[in-house]
Structure 1
Amino acid sequence: MNDKTPQPPGLPPSDWPELQPGWVWLCGAGPGDPGLMTLHGLNALRQADVVVHDALVSDAILDWAPQAEKIFAGKRGGKPSAKQSDISLRLVELACEGKRVLRLKGGDPFVFGRGGEEAQTLVQHGVPFRIVPGISAGIGGLAYAGIPVTHREFNQSVTFVTGHDQSGETPSSLDWEALARGSQVLVIYMGIKHARVIADALLAAGRAAEEPVAVVSNATLPGQQVMETTLAQLADDLDRSGIEPPAILCVGRNVAMRQILDWQGLQAG
């Protein structure tokens, strides 16, 4: 196919790929700050006929596609939302109508973003697609909070975990004892609702009560909040804080690095 398109507005000169009619691009919008959107994502926004977007994709990013129809397909815990199967099939329908379809998801589409499920559906229906990775909140969001997910003095491994499964409960398939023993740093997505259950499971499995924990809410956005606590105090401190999703939890010694790497705090000071 011809994979070249005329120079899209607002992009530096390059051989940018073309979002062609009947195609779906599964794209990550990053953790929130529009500046963390990739250039391939911006290229897709400039070409799309329709943007099917999640709740965590900001209006500032959607405004970069003034020509496109916007379809909300957000899924937020505890609130009415479209079924995943319906969202996936809607992508198929739009592509079959000859639309240039951009499926825009917060973070990275393949990191707890159901992008794999949507791609499977596209394959099953013979719809051509492209994957455009994004910066995951579990990396970029923690970096904005001054927390490195890896640091040679503290860890040689990091584990990404979801705080709830398809039922909305803490995943029963997770072996918390193995995670407590084997993972030096745990990054937990969507974990606020079940923070007490998660903390109790890790403590029961032998994780230290005084281990540092950070909760980063609205990561990379102007309203970002960061709470530092310990594993034993996590649930009680969350209850008192009033912090709400979306948020990332980080458990590990790396959290202590925020005391010297909080670059936003240093700027404000």
Structure 2
Amino acid sequence: MNEGIVYIVGAGPGDPELISIKAINIMKDADVILYDRLVSKELLDKFDVEKIYVGRAVGDDYKHQEQTNQLMLKYAKEGKKVVRLHGGDPFIFGRGGEEAEFLKENNIRFEIIPGISSIIAASASSLVPLTDRRYASSLAIVTGHEDPMKEYERVRWEMLPKAVDTIVVLMGISNLEKIIDRLVDGGMDKDTRIAVIENASKKEERIIYGKLDDIVMKVKEQKIKPPAVIIIGDVVKVSERLRA
């Protein structure tokens, strides 16, 4: 029997054209694709192979990931070429690291294929550069929804305003008001610019611009929902000129 292999692949942010040639070639040759909730149907429909949904939503328990791990192990031990397909990039707020460790522990060959993160897609769509020599020399990428199983909160919101120039928040829409309150408590000006990008790169993409003191109201009025990327900082001023 041939030795199996698992490719942990980034599918990109949603637009099926924003995926690497290497990822496409691997998926064409795959025996099975285990795909996430945020992977587009349009992309999946391009491949005539077995596809198994292993998407995980907020609130799902840890058993869900264990089931995904066991599927990777099962098919790899059968000598198959397995694609574990993540939305965005598997190593940016994905479970690629956990899955790679699991495969290593079980002596399964694996390879990581990077993908374009929604962070990059949102930056391009909103015309907001994440760094700019005039405004931003540093960047923090943080989650707006930490794992509730952690012993303590890792994101120190009050420290970010003095530590970095641009803040990008993923999975933060449901906690947006709390996040802004804590940034203001840390010294961030309420007039600081902010952009919220829903479904970055997809056909249903929507973008809202504002300031810390009015963005929560705008998000509620427009009924913005996840997945959304939040970009905070003076770099948003660049988009104001580009859109003028």
TM-score normalised per structure 1: 0.85
1:193 aligns with 2:185: no
1:29 aligns with 2:11: yes
Distance in 2 (alpha carbons) for counterparts of 1:65 and 1:80: 30
1:202 aligns with 2:168: no
Count of matched residue positions in the alignment of Structure 1 and Structure 2: 242
TM-fit CA distance, 1:261: 3.3
Structure 1 counterpart of 2:235: 254
- Counterparts of 1:237-248 in structure 2, within 5 Å, are 237-248=218-229
1:183 aligns with 2:164: yes
TM-fit CA distance, 1:241: 1.5
State whether residues 75 and 82 of structure 1, in contact with CA within 8 Å, keep that contact through their aligned partners in structure 2: no
Structure 1 counterpart of 2:198: 217
Structure 2 counterpart of 1:158: 139
Task: Encode CA deviations 1:77-97: one digit per residue, 9 max, x unaligned.
Answer: 257896222212221122112
1:46 aligns with 2:12: no
Calculate percent identity across the aligned residue pairs.
36
- Extract unaligned runs of 5+ from structure 1: 1-19
Higher RCO structure (Cα 8 Å, ≥6 apart): 2
Distance in 2 (alpha carbons) for counterparts of 1:185 and 1:178: 13
Distance in 2 (alpha carbons) for counterparts of 1:176 and 1:164: 12
1:118 to 76, 84, 99: 99
Distance in 2 (alpha carbons) for counterparts of 1:38 and 1:144: 19
Distance in 1 (alpha carbons) for counterparts of 2:177 and 2:149: 15
Structure 2 counterpart of 1:129: 110
Q: CA RMSD in A?
A: 2.0
Distance in 2 (alpha carbons) for counterparts of 1:125 and 1:100: 16
Query: Secondary structure of the residue that 1:237 maps to in structure 2?
Result: helix
1:91 aligns with 2:101: no
TM-score normalised per structure 2: 0.93
State whether residues 126 and 195 of structure 2, in contact with CA within 8 Å, keep that contact through their aligned partners in structure 1: no
CA separation of 1:81 and 1:236: change in aligned 2, threshold 3 A: farther
Pick which of 218-227 and 55-64 moved more. 55-64
Structure 2 counterpart of 1:5: none
1:60 aligns with 2:39: no
Structure 2 counterpart of 1:15: none
Task: Encode CA deviations 1:203-237: one digit per residue, 9 max, x unaligned.
Answer: 11100101011110010011110011111222222
State whether residues 11 and 87 of structure 2, in contact with CA within 8 Å, keep that contact through their aligned partners in structure 1: yes
Distance in 2 (alpha carbons) for counterparts of 1:87 and 1:214: 34
Distance in 2 (alpha carbons) for counterparts of 1:160 and 1:88: 27
State whether residues 42 and 64 of structure 1, in contact with CA within 8 Å, keep that contact through their aligned partners in structure 2: no
Structure 1 counterpart of 2:123: 142
Distance in 2 (alpha carbons) for counterparts of 1:83 and 1:167: 16
Query: Secondary structure of the residue that 2:17 maps to in structure 1?
Result: helix
Q: Which residue type is aligned with residue 26 of structure 2?
A: A
Distance in 1 (alpha carbons) for counterparts of 2:187 and 2:46: 48
TM-fit CA distance, 1:21: 5.1
Task: Encode CA deviations 1:174-194: one digit per residue, 9 max, x unaligned.
Answer: 111221211100000111011
Distance in 2 (alpha carbons) for counterparts of 1:75 and 1:260: 39
